Structure 1
Amino acid sequence: MANTVPSSEFFWDNIFIKVEDTLFCVPRCEFVKSSEVFADMFLLPAGPGESTEGRVRDHPIVLEGYKKDEFTSLLKVMYPTAGSQISGTTLDLGLGKSEWVNVLKLSTIWNMEKIRTYAIHKLSTDFTLSPAEKILLARAHKVATWMYEGVSELVNSNPKPTIEELGAFGWETAARILWIRDSFPPNLNILTFKRDDIKCGYCSSSSSLIDGAYNCYSCGRSIPPDAELTIPGSGPTVVLRDIRCPHITCRGTVFHTIYVRCNSCSTTHGADHNARIIRKTGLKELIEDSFGEEVRR
């Protein structure tokens, strides 16, 4: 026995953890590797005459405010067994959606980044998350991609989201979603933009192609720089003649006869010439402006 050394992989030091009315005994190593929170906790010295917390059954680490079902879900990922993992010729942890949500919750709280990333991946690929679920889970567990996806899907949804769906988010979030939807109509066949977004079709200038005052050819109304115009299609290259008037009683051709010169390359544009549409604000920007760090972190 003098030459016997402990295995570097399979020689576990167990810890006792109590959640609600249930006592768990698991290898300490995975908590140390996976979470700085627990690694730091295990470094705390025991008081005089006390056994180190978690080392013995009668003195477990007590996790207040958590549910045993949540903790069990996390342990299934941290300590998978052959019986639960092997399914025929494949490996599968066998957790349902609610269990993966539990894993995401605790791994986020305890800074278990590797497990958190895997939980997000599993929920994103193995299960269907509704737009409402994405928004609620994103806010609860700081998942920016889900926040963006959820809002984007609601903005583009057909039919429109119901009052009940929007009400689940609170009035402020519901108002923001409706504002984005109103600012960015979910019509993939119509491009909406401002007059100032029209750029030269022959150079890369970022300046507006059309300066000064301009009136609609069809109805004669003023078309100011911030007028919201439309054109069939998705851009970004358009024919000037196809651009439509924003006024609801018109919707006719704005630039049926037009001759403008690019200030950068001096190319003259007529009604049948191409122009570029460079929108200052797209759906992504509208969502970022409305929800800030929730979709950027």
Structure 2
Amino acid sequence: MSGVPIRSADYYFARGDLVLQVENVLFRIHRDILSAHSTFFCDMFRTPSSDSHEGESDDRPLKLARDLSSIESFTILCNLLYPKKIGVLPPVLAGELETWAPVLEATQALQMDSAREYILSKLEEDRLNIPSVAARLLGLIINYEEASDVLKLEYNGVYLIHSRPYPSTRRFSLLGNDS
């Protein structure tokens, strides 16, 4: 995207102390909140910058590289950091992996461990929808050590039920189970 950046409709706070540009959207959010939930931002804010005014205004935003997060993923991360209602976070459903996969990638890049743990735990809770997305889900969970054994076992169970012919003892042990 090019052109003049636009302000986020939901995450441009008058008292925010950081103007962050993701793609063509400006977010005015809080350094303390980002630092509390992201090792990446915490380390960045501790490191002296050659431009001491970067991130202070719309004219000099701190620009987040596209390979760290898309606008869609960063907006969802803001939904987690700034819930609209106290204690009510966005639903994470296994059937919406196309939405959550890039968000998980962004949590990895931005070192947002607690957000990644939350997303993975909610995927685990949505067990009824795991069979419909089992292969895609496996592709995600093998990349994150925070994925619980329960989530991995749920995938293995779906795999075993739907495998024809049933896997050999050797193949079963490769799935992470001792037989």
Asked if 1:42 corresponds to 2:28, the answer is no
Give the equivalent residue in structure 1 for 2:136.
133
Contact 1:108 1:116 in 2 (8 A): yes
Contact 1:45 1:52 in 2 (8 A): no
Give the equivalent residue in structure 1 for 2:168.
182
What one-letter code is carried by the residue in structure 2 that aligns with 1:21? N
More helix by share: 2
Q: Structure 2 residue aligned with 1:30, among 33, 44, 54? A: 33
Give the equivalent residue in structure 1 for 2:70.
67
Does the C-alpha gap of structure 1 residues 183 and 126 become closer, same or farther in structure 2, counting only changes over 3 Å? Answer: closer
Q: Percent identity over the alignment? A: 24
Following the alignment from structure 2 to structure 1, what is the Cα–Cα distance between the partners of residues 142 and 53? 37
What one-letter code is carried by the residue in structure 1 that aligns with 2:169? S
Contact 1:16 1:61 in 2 (8 A): yes
Following the alignment from structure 1 to structure 2, what is the Cα–Cα distance between the partners of residues 141 and 22? 29
| Total equivalences in the alignment | 155
Give the equivalent residue in structure 2 for 1:53.
54
Contact 1:134 1:147 in 2 (8 A): no
Offset of residue 144 of structure 1: 6.0
Following the alignment from structure 1 to structure 2, what is the Cα–Cα distance between the partners of residues 153 and 94? 23
Give the equivalent residue in structure 1 for 2:90.
93
Following the alignment from structure 2 to structure 1, what is the Cα–Cα distance between the partners of residues 123 and 22? 25
Structure 2 counterpart SS, 1:37: helix
Offset of residue 120 of structure 1: 0.9
Following the alignment from structure 2 to structure 1, what is the Cα–Cα distance between the partners of residues 162 and 38? 43
Offset of residue 59 of structure 1: 1.8
- Structure 1 stretches of 4+ moved >4 Å: none
TM-score by length of 2: 0.69
Q: After superposition, give the CA deviation of every residue in 1:241-265 in whole Å (9 maximum; x if it has no partner).
A: xxxxxxxxxxxxxxxxxxxxxxxxx
Asked if 1:157 corresponds to 2:161, the answer is yes
Following the alignment from structure 1 to structure 2, what is the Cα–Cα distance between the partners of residues 133 and 81? 30
Contact 1:35 1:111 in 2 (8 A): yes
Q: After superposition, give the CA deviation of every residue in 1:19-47 in whole Å (9 maximum; x if it has no partner).
A: 11211111221111011111010112232
**Could you say which structure has the greater relative contact order, defined with CA pairs below 8 angstroms and 6 or more residues apart?**
2
Unaligned runs of 5+ in 1: 1-11, 162-177, 186-282, 290-297
TM-score by length of 1: 0.44
Unaligned runs of 5+ in 2: 1-14
Give the equivalent residue in structure 1 for 2:109.
109
Following the alignment from structure 1 to structure 2, what is the Cα–Cα distance between the partners of residues 287 and 126? 21
Larger of the two Rg values belongs to structure: 1
